[in-house]
Chain A
C-alpha cells in the first residue's frame, strides 16, 4: 500500500475530501460536532503540510515526494502513449512553500469559522472541497489534473459566497453578494477558458500524447516555435493573471473578498490568488520559456500598475474589507513584478511575497471578521477608538498593517526587498523607474494603512455602538498562528529563501537557456 504513505502529497488532496465525506454523514444540527471534526481534519492537514516543509531537502532541490498513477491512456497519431493522463504528484521548492501557506490558512480559517451557525456542515464541506482543489493545483504535475483541481478550487466559491456571504450597500451604489459571486465565477471561468485552450494547444503541438509536464518539457526546443510560445504564453499570462488580480482584470477580486464570509475571504485572498501566480510559473514559465522572455516586460509593467493603482484605490475606500481587498490587488502586483524580473532574486521574492501576503491578508480578514461580528459595521467612517475596547484585536490589525506597509522584521519587508532588488537589477533604466514606483507603492500603502489605524482604532470610542468584547481565546489562537509566521519570516527568512531558491532555479535556468 505504497500510496498510503505519509509522504505521498496526494494525501493533501485526499484528506480534505475524506473530511467532506465524514461531514456528509453527520447530522446537520450537531453543529459543534461538525466544528470539531472540521478542526481536527484541518489540523491534520496543517501537520502534514508542516511535515512536507520540514522534510523537504533544499540542498537536493528539484521535485521530491514523487508519486504517479496511470489514469487514462489515449490512442492517437502518436500510438498508444504512456502517462497520457496520469495522477502525477510531486512537490518542489515553490510548491512546498505554497502547501505550507495553504495548510496554515486552511486551519486558521477553520478555527475562525466556528461562529458560523447557519448550515455550518454544508459550509465546511464546500470549504474543504475548495481546499483540496487548491492543494491539488500545487502538487499536480499533469496538466489535465492541474486544470481539474484549478476548476475545483474556483467553483465552490460561488456557493460559499452566494449562501454565507454578505451584501454591502453604499450611498451611491450597492454590491449584492449574488452579483459578486456571479462576477467572480464568470470572470474566473473566462480565465480558465484561456488556460484550457492553451493547455490543449500545448498537448497537441507537443505530439507526445501526454499531459505530463515532464513529457511536454522534453520536446520544447523541437516542437514549440517562438511564435507558438509567444501566442500561448500571452494567453496563459492573462488566464492565470485574472486569478492573480492582474490589472485590468482584477475587479472580481475586491468585490468577491468583500462579499465572502471571513474564512472564504482568507482563503480567497490568502491562497487562491496565489494559484494564478503559481500557474504562471508552473505552466507558463516552465513550458513556454521563450514566451516568458517575450512577455515578461509587459507583466512587470502591469504589475507596477497593479501596485500603484491598487494602493490608490485602497486609499479611496471606506469599507474595511474593500481597503484590504484593494491592498491585495496592490500586493499581488509585487508578485507579478517579481515574476517579471526573470531573475533569481526577483522570483524568489515573488514566491516569498506570495507566502507573506497569504499569511498577512488572512490575518487582516480574520481581524476584520472579528470586528464586523462585534460592531456589525465595516464602515471606517463610523468606527472609531476600537483599540480601547478591543486591545488585542487592535494589536493584531496593527501587526497586519505594519506587515502590509513593509516594516522590517515582519514578513512583507523581506519579500518586497528581494523583489525591489530584483527589479532594479533587471531592464536597465526601466528597472530603476519601475523599482522606484514599487518602493513608492509601499509608501502609499503606509499612508492608507496608518490613516485607517488612526481613524478606526485610535481616538475615543463611539458610545453609540454596543459594548465590545475583546477577542476570544479561539480567535487569539488563530490570529497568533498567523502572527508567528509573519514574524518568523520577517526575522529569519533564510530557510524559506533556500527552499524557494531550489524550486526557482531550474525554471529560471531553462528560460535563460532558451533565450
Chain B
C-alpha cells in the first residue's frame, strides 16, 4: 500500500499547481511555460500507473481519505478522496487523454499569442476533472463539477474575439448551470435527509430505508437533471454542438472524452440510489434512448465536421445513459472508456484535417484527403469503425455488452429501437469518413492540404492503437483472476455473448456501413434525391428541430421580458411612485397646511374659539 488514496490528492494537486504557475508567470517562462502543464499531465499519468499497479496488487481494496473544509455544528463538509474501481477507470481515461491532447496541442496551438493561458486552463480543467472522479462526497463532487464547467467555459471562449465563441461559451455555462441548480438542490435534500454528503453513507442510508420515499424520488430526479445538463441529454443538448467553437483539442478532451461523461459518471455512482425509486431507471433509459436516436438523426445531416462529431457524442452519451437505465453499470462504464478513446481520436483527427485545410471545417469542401494525409486518414477510419461497432475494434465489444444489458434489463422493444440507433451510428460515421477522405478533391484547399506535423500525428497513432486493442479488456484473461473489465467494475457482471444479439447487431452495423458507402463513397445511391424525397423532414433535421430557436425565443420573449418588466416596475412603481410619492405627498401636504397660516387675526381668533369650545365639551364629557 505505497500509493493509496492518501496520496491521491497529488494527482489534481499537480495540475492545479501547474495552472497557478503558468497562468500567473507563464509569459515570463521559457516556451511560455507550456511545459509545466504537460509535465503535470505526464506525472499524473505515471502516478496513475503506480496507483493502478498498487490497487491491483493489494487485491482491489477501495481506500479513502478526507480533509475538513467546513465544520459547523453537525454539518461537516470535507474534501474527500477515494479510490475504487470506477475512479481507477476514470483516472486512466483522464490522465491518458489529457496527456495526449496536450502534446497534440503543442503542434495545433503553436503560434497562438495566448498559448500559455490555453495550457494553464487545460491544467486547471485536468485538475478539477481528476478531483471530480476521486471525490468521495457529493458536495466536493459538485465543487469540481462546477470547476470543470469553468474550464469548459474558458476554453470554448478561448478565441473570445469571435462572437460565436463567446456566445457558445455563455450558452454552455448557462445551460449546464440550469442542470446544476437541480444537482445542488438534490444534494442538499439528500443531506437534509441523511446528515451526510458521503456517497457510500447516503446509499447505505437509502438501502436501510432511512430516506423518505418522496425525498428519494425528488433528489434522484434533481441529480439526474444535473447529469442531463452536463452530459448534454435532450433537452439540454443544445450547448454541446455550439461548444465546438473552441479549439479542436479542447473538444477532444472536454467535449468528447472527459467532462461530458461526468453526468454518466454521476449516475453510475448513484445508481444504487436511483434503483431504489420504482420506475426511475425506466425514465433514465427513455431519456437516454431518445437522445441516442435524436442526436443520431441530426448527425446524419450536419455538414460541419466537428458538429457531426458533437452530435455523435451526444448520441453515444445517450446510449450510455440508456445502458445505465437498464442497470448495466459495467457495460456503460466500459463504453465510456472506449468512446472516450475513439472520440478523442476522431476529434484530434478532425483537428489534423482542419489544420491541413487552414481551418476549414465544412466537410463538403474536402474530399479525397486520404491521398494528402494518409496517417490522419487511416487513424480516422479506425475511430469511425470502432464507434460503428465493427469487429474486432473496441467499440464492437462495448456495444455488444451494452446491447445485451439493454435486452436483459429492459426487454426486446428497447433493444430493437436501440438497434435503429446502432444503424444510424455506423451510417453517419462512414458518411463522415467518405465525404472527407474518399473521392475527388472538392476545393482548392483540399488539393493543397497537407499532413500535420508529427507532434500531432503520433498521438493519433497511439490513440488508434488503443482504440483497436482496448476491446480485449472485455474478455476474461485465461490466467489470473481478471475476469474482464466488466467484472472488474461490477463484480456481479460476467462476460458473455448472446447467440443472436451479437450477430444481429454486427449485421446491422455492417449494413449501415455498406449503405453509407454506397451513398457517399462509391456513389450508387444519390443522397440528394433522398433529401429531396423527404424534403420537409430533411429541412426539419438540418434546422436541428428548431430547439435552439425555441430556447432563444424563451430567453428573449420570456426571461428578458420578465427582467425588463421587473426593472421598469422597480423604477416606476416602487421608486417613483412609492418612494418619491411619499416624499411628494409630504411636500404637497406642506403646501396645503401652509395656507392655514393666513396672517389674519380673525382667522386665528375663530380657530381659537372653536378649539376652546371643543375642549370645554370634552371636559364636561370626561368629568361626568
Q: Which residues of A contact B (CB under 8 A)?
A: 173, 183, 186-187, 248, 251-252, 255, 309, 312-317, 326, 344-345, 348, 385, 387-388, 402, 405, 407-409, 413-414, 417-418, 420-421, 424-425, 432, 435-436, 439-440, 442-443, 446-448, 450-451, 453-454, 457-460, 492-494, 497, 501
> B564 contacts A435, CB within 8 Å?
no
| Alpha-carbon distance A352/B150, docked complex (angstroms) | 23
Contact A313–B563 (Cβ < 8 Å): yes
- Total A-B pairs, Cβ < 8 A: 133
* B145-188 interface code vs A (CB 8 A; 1 in, 0 out): 01100100000010011110111011001100110110011001
Dominant secondary structure of chain B at its interface with chain A: helix
Q: List 26 A-B contacts (CB under 8 A).
A: A248-B578, A251-B570, A251-B574, A312-B562, A313-B567, A313-B570, A316-B563, A326-B567, A345-B72, A345-B75, A408-B142, A408-B144, A413-B143, A420-B188, A421-B191, A432-B192, A435-B188, A443-B181, A446-B173, A448-B563, A450-B173, A450-B174, A458-B157, A458-B160, A459-B162, A494-B70
Beyond the given A388-B161, A425-B192, A435-B185, could you list 7 further A-B residue pairs with CB under 8 A, ordered by the A residue number?
A173-B571, A407-B146, A408-B146, A413-B146, A446-B177, A493-B69, A494-B71
Known contacts A344-B72, A408-B143, A443-B178; decide if A436 and B185 are in contact (CB<8 Å).
yes
Q: Do A459 and B166 touch across chains, with their CB atoms under 8 A apart? A: yes
- B73 neighbours in A (Cβ, 8 Å): 344-345
> Which residues of chain B have C-beta atoms less than 8 A from A417's C-beta?
77, 139
Known contacts A251-B579, A494-B71; decide if A316 and B567 are in contact (CB<8 Å). yes
- Give the residue of A317, A388, A443, A454 whose beta carbon is less than 8 angstroms from that of B167: A454
What residues on B are CB-neighbors of A442 within 8 Å? 181
Q: How many residues of B contact A (CB 8 A)?
A: 54
CB of A418 within 8 A of CB of B192, answer no
Distance in angstroms from A12 CB to nearest chain B CB is 28
Residues of B in contact with A (beta carbons under 8 Å apart): 68-73, 75, 77, 139, 142-144, 146-147, 150, 157, 160-163, 165-167, 169-170, 173-174, 177-178, 180-181, 184-185, 188-189, 191-192, 559-560, 562-568, 570-571, 574-575, 578-580, 583
Q: When the two chains form their complex, are residues B70 and A497 in contact, meaning their CB atoms are under 8 A apart?
A: yes
A421 and B75 contact, CB distance less than 8 A: yes
| Alpha-carbon separation in the docked complex, A440 to B583 (Å) | 35
* Chain A residues, Cβ within 8 Å of B188: 420-421, 424, 435
Q: How far is the CA of A248 from the CA of B569 in the complex (A)?
A: 12
Q: In the complex, which residues of chain A have a beta carbon less than 8 angstroms from the beta carbon of B173?
A: 446, 450
Contacting pair A409 B167 (CB below 8 A): no
- The reply to whether B161 and A459 form a contact with Cβ atoms under 8 Å apart is yes
B167/A312 in contact, CB under 8 A: no
A64 to B121, CA, bound (A): 44
Which residues of B lie under 8 Å from residue A315 when comparing CB positions?
Answer: 559-560, 563, 567
Query: What is the CA–CA distance of A440 and B174 in the complex, to the nearest angstrom?
Result: 12
Minimal Cβ-Cβ distance residue in A for B159: A458
* Chain A residues closer than 8 Å to B163, beta-carbon distance: 458-460
Contacts of B578 in A (CB 8 A): 248, 251
| CA gap between A312 and B566 in the complex, in Å | 6
Nearest-neighbour CB distance to chain A for B573, whole angstroms, equals 9
Report which of A183, A251, A316, A497 forms a contact with B564, defined as CB distance below 8 A: A316
**Interface contact A402-B181, CB-CB below 8 Å:** no
CA distance A421 to B75 in the complex (A): 9
Contacts of B583 in A (CB 8 A): 183, 186
Q: Report the bound CA distance from A448 to B142 in whole Å.
A: 22
**Which residues from chain A contact B146 at a C-beta distance below 8 Å?**
407-408, 413
The answer to whether A454 touches B70, judged by C-beta atoms less than 8 angstroms apart, is no
A453 to B166, CA, bound (A): 9
Taken together as a complex, chains A and B put the C-alpha atoms of A442 and B574 apart, in Å, by 24
Contact B185 A407 (CB under 8 A): no
Contact between chains at B184 and A420 (CB < 8 Å): yes
Complex formed: what's the CA distance from A497 to B236 in Å? 37
Measured CA separation A461–B472 after assembly (Å): 54
Q: How far is the CA of A315 from the CA of B70 in the complex (A)?
A: 32
Query: A408 — which chain B residues lie within 8 A by C-beta?
Result: 142-144, 146-147
The distance in angstroms between the C-alpha atoms of A344 and B77, with both chains bound, is 15
**Pair B174/A494 contact, Cβ less than 8 Å:** no
B177 and A183 contacting across the interface, CB-CB below 8 Å: no
A290: shortest Cβ distance to chain B, in Å? 23
Q: Which residues of A contact B165 (CB under 8 A)?
A: 458
A186 contacts across to B, CB distance below 8 A: 583
Distance, CA A315 to CA B191, complexed state (A) = 32
